[in-house]
Chains A and B, each alone.
Chain A
Amino acid sequence: MEPGTIRGARGLVKAAYLTAAEVTGYVLAKEPLTGAWMVRATVVTSDPYLLAQPDLVFVAPHKGGAWRWPIASCRCAATTFEARLKGI
């Protein structure tokens, strides 16, 4: 695993408290060329209406709570989810 890469089993894309997508096997890493932080994962469930809302947040639950990163932009296909994160 490259330094600074975070991997997790389950992640959520949230619009306020509503779940826009549930993903599995996420990998959060810095793009070497652009320096942007990206998250890529496999889609379990997705809600097209909520995914089109502003101010989405990527949530990575862990044992004691959850890490949260605001999403700058995202793309959700049938099985793949990709988002550029802001504020890291």
Chain B
Amino acid sequence: MSIRVRRPATERLELSQGDFLIVKQDLTAGEYRAFLRAATKPMALAAGGATPAMELDPIAAGEAMVLAYLLDWSFQDADGRPLVIADQPPAVVRAALDHLDHASYMEVQRAIQAHQATTEAARDDEKKTLSGGTGPDKTLTSAA
């Protein structure tokens, strides 16, 4: 038996000018599916194609990843008031992201992408450790 549900944990990502983000350490399966849904778009098929297909939308994917991970930040609006996103509906968070200057948005997106890559690599290492090695599984030969 093994534990397959992680306790929700957060991480603080440091940005330039003393700012920071609070992000989810990991996504749950449901959050990951929601991220994939938001990051893909239906693909146009040639006439006669019966199988619906999806493709990654590179613009939507970046925003989807930010929305999936981001919980809070230290950002302020043009008047120096906190730009509140914690516990706000997704539409409010999306609107706040849309009103950042482009360089700031890209800094947020890059920080979250780096966090996701680091976390994924750590989980891969964890799996290797738990499975007891990095080599391929031995194949059992049939006794028959």
Interface set of A (CB-CB < 8 Å, partner B): 10, 12, 14-18, 59, 61, 63-66
Contacts and interface: CB of A to CB of B under 8 A. Distances in A.
In the A-B complex, list the 4 residue pairs whose CB atoms are closest, starting with the nearest. A16-B8, A61-B87, A66-B87, A18-B8
A17 B84 contact: no
A17 B82 contact: no
B74 interface: no
In this complex, the member of B8, B24, B28 whose beta carbon has the largest number of chain A beta carbons within 10 angstroms is B8
Interface string B58-92: 00000000000001000000000110101111000
Nearest to A62: B84
A12 B87 contact: yes
Main SS of the interface on chain A? strand
Interface residues of B, number: 14
Contacts of A18: 8, 28
A17 B71 contact: yes
Interface of B: 7-10, 24, 28, 71, 81-82, 84, 86-89
Contacts of A17: 8, 10, 24, 71
A15 to B, nearest CB: 7
A64 B82 contact: yes
A54 B69 CA distance: 23
Contact of B8 (A15, A63, A65): A15
Nearest to B10: A17
Contacts of B9: 16
Contacts of A61: 87-88
Nearest to A16: B8
B8 A66 contact: no
Contacts of A59: 87
A10 B89 CA distance: 10
Contact of B86 (A15, A16, A63, A66): A66
Nearest to B7: A16
